[in-house]
Amino acid sequence: MKSLILALAIAAPGNAPNQPPSNGGEKTLVKQCTIYKEGAAQIMLGRQKGVSLERMMEEINKISSEYTANKSLWKSIVLSAYKMPRYRQESLVERAVEEFSRQVQIKCLEAAQGVL
Protein backbone atom coordinates (compact mmCIF):
# COMPACT_ATOMS: atom_id res chain seq x y z
CA MET A 1 0.00 0.00 0.00
CA LYS A 2 2.94 2.34 0.50
CA SER A 3 3.62 2.25 -3.24
CA LEU A 4 -0.02 3.15 -3.86
CA ILE A 5 0.20 6.14 -1.57
CA LEU A 6 3.46 7.22 -3.20
CA ALA A 7 2.03 6.91 -6.71
CA LEU A 8 -1.07 8.88 -5.80
CA ALA A 9 0.89 11.54 -3.95
CA ILE A 10 3.15 12.02 -6.96
CA ALA A 11 0.17 12.34 -9.28
CA ALA A 12 -1.90 14.56 -7.02
CA PRO A 13 -0.08 17.87 -7.60
CA GLY A 14 -0.69 17.73 -11.37
CA ASN A 15 -3.67 19.09 -13.23
CA ALA A 16 -6.77 16.96 -13.53
CA PRO A 17 -6.70 15.17 -16.89
CA ASN A 18 -9.49 17.31 -18.33
CA GLN A 19 -7.78 20.60 -17.51
CA PRO A 20 -5.15 22.29 -19.66
CA PRO A 21 -1.64 21.07 -18.88
CA SER A 22 0.69 23.63 -17.39
CA ASN A 23 3.80 24.75 -19.27
CA GLY A 24 5.05 21.88 -21.36
CA GLY A 25 1.91 21.15 -23.35
CA GLU A 26 1.61 17.68 -24.80
CA LYS A 27 4.73 16.30 -23.10
CA THR A 28 3.35 17.33 -19.72
CA LEU A 29 0.00 15.76 -20.54
CA VAL A 30 1.55 12.46 -21.64
CA LYS A 31 3.68 12.38 -18.49
CA GLN A 32 0.67 13.19 -16.33
CA CYS A 33 -1.46 10.48 -17.95
CA THR A 34 1.40 8.02 -17.47
CA ILE A 35 1.34 8.84 -13.76
CA TYR A 36 -2.39 8.13 -13.69
CA LYS A 37 -1.69 4.84 -15.48
CA GLU A 38 0.91 3.87 -12.87
CA GLY A 39 -1.42 4.77 -10.01
CA ALA A 40 -4.25 2.80 -11.64
CA ALA A 41 -1.93 -0.21 -11.93
CA GLN A 42 -1.22 -0.04 -8.19
CA ILE A 43 -4.92 0.26 -7.44
CA MET A 44 -5.83 -2.73 -9.61
CA LEU A 45 -2.95 -4.77 -8.20
CA GLY A 46 -4.26 -4.07 -4.69
CA ARG A 47 -7.73 -5.08 -5.82
CA GLN A 48 -6.39 -8.31 -7.33
CA LYS A 49 -4.38 -9.08 -4.18
CA GLY A 50 -7.48 -8.82 -2.01
CA VAL A 51 -7.19 -5.34 -0.52
CA SER A 52 -10.70 -4.37 0.57
CA LEU A 53 -12.52 -1.48 -1.05
CA GLU A 54 -12.77 0.16 2.36
CA ARG A 55 -9.01 -0.05 2.88
CA MET A 56 -8.33 1.34 -0.58
CA MET A 57 -10.63 4.29 0.06
CA GLU A 58 -8.89 4.89 3.40
CA GLU A 59 -5.58 5.10 1.54
CA ILE A 60 -7.02 7.63 -0.89
CA ASN A 61 -8.32 9.70 2.02
CA LYS A 62 -4.79 9.83 3.47
CA ILE A 63 -3.67 12.02 0.57
CA SER A 64 -2.85 15.47 1.88
CA SER A 65 -5.81 17.85 1.92
CA GLU A 66 -3.90 20.29 -0.32
CA TYR A 67 -4.50 17.77 -3.12
CA THR A 68 -8.22 17.31 -2.42
CA ALA A 69 -9.20 18.16 -6.00
CA ASN A 70 -7.65 14.93 -7.23
CA LYS A 71 -9.11 12.72 -4.50
CA SER A 72 -12.42 12.42 -6.32
CA LEU A 73 -10.63 11.34 -9.48
CA TRP A 74 -8.63 8.70 -7.60
CA LYS A 75 -11.80 7.50 -5.85
CA SER A 76 -13.44 7.13 -9.25
CA ILE A 77 -10.48 5.05 -10.45
CA VAL A 78 -10.73 2.86 -7.33
CA LEU A 79 -14.46 2.29 -7.86
CA SER A 80 -13.82 1.37 -11.49
CA ALA A 81 -11.18 -1.15 -10.43
CA TYR A 82 -13.51 -2.77 -7.92
CA LYS A 83 -16.18 -3.22 -10.59
CA MET A 84 -13.77 -5.57 -12.37
CA PRO A 85 -13.48 -9.25 -11.50
CA ARG A 86 -10.76 -10.51 -9.15
CA TYR A 87 -8.50 -13.27 -10.43
CA ARG A 88 -6.29 -15.75 -8.63
CA GLN A 89 -4.19 -16.99 -11.55
CA GLU A 90 -1.09 -14.79 -11.80
CA SER A 91 -1.23 -14.42 -15.58
CA LEU A 92 -4.82 -13.19 -15.35
CA VAL A 93 -3.90 -10.79 -12.54
CA GLU A 94 -1.10 -9.33 -14.65
CA ARG A 95 -3.40 -8.96 -17.64
CA ALA A 96 -6.12 -7.31 -15.53
CA VAL A 97 -3.61 -4.82 -14.11
CA GLU A 98 -2.17 -4.00 -17.54
CA GLU A 99 -5.54 -3.64 -19.25
CA PHE A 100 -7.06 -1.52 -16.49
CA SER A 101 -4.09 0.82 -16.24
CA ARG A 102 -3.99 1.20 -20.02
CA GLN A 103 -7.71 2.08 -20.04
CA VAL A 104 -7.14 4.77 -17.43
CA GLN A 105 -4.27 6.23 -19.45
CA ILE A 106 -6.36 6.25 -22.62
CA LYS A 107 -9.30 7.93 -20.85
CA CYS A 108 -6.93 10.54 -19.48
CA LEU A 109 -5.53 11.29 -22.94
CA GLU A 110 -8.99 11.32 -24.51
CA ALA A 111 -10.31 13.71 -21.85
CA ALA A 112 -7.54 16.16 -22.63
CA GLN A 113 -7.64 15.78 -26.41
CA GLY A 114 -9.54 19.00 -26.97
CA VAL A 115 -7.19 20.90 -24.68
CA LEU A 116 -4.10 20.73 -26.88
Domain membership flag for residue 16: no
Percentage, residues of the chain above pLDDT 70: 71
* Rounded CA separation 42/81 (Å): 10
Give residue 6's domain range.
2-11+24-115
Output the pLDDT for position 104: 96
pLDDT in tens, 54-67: 999 998 888 766 55
Full-model pTM: 0.77
Residue 96 inside a domain? The answer is: yes
Predicted pLDDT at 115: 55
Instruction: Give CA–CA dist 74/72, Å, rounded.
Output: 5
Q: Report the greatest alpha carbon distance in the chain.
A: 43
**Residue 17 domain-assigned?**
no
Q: At what angle do helices 25-48 and 2-11 cross, to 10 degrees?
A: 160
Over the stretch 62-101, which tens digit does the pLDDT of each residue have? 876 655 567 888 999 999 999 999 999 999 999 999 999 9
Residue 70 located in a structural domain: yes
| Measured distance CA(115)–CA(53) in Å, rounded | 33
The total of structural domains in the chain comes to: 1
C-alpha distances in Å from residue 77, one per residue of 8, 25, 82, 103, 116:
11, 24, 9, 10, 24
- What mean pLDDT value characterizes the chain? 81
* 29/19 Cα distance (integer angstroms): 10
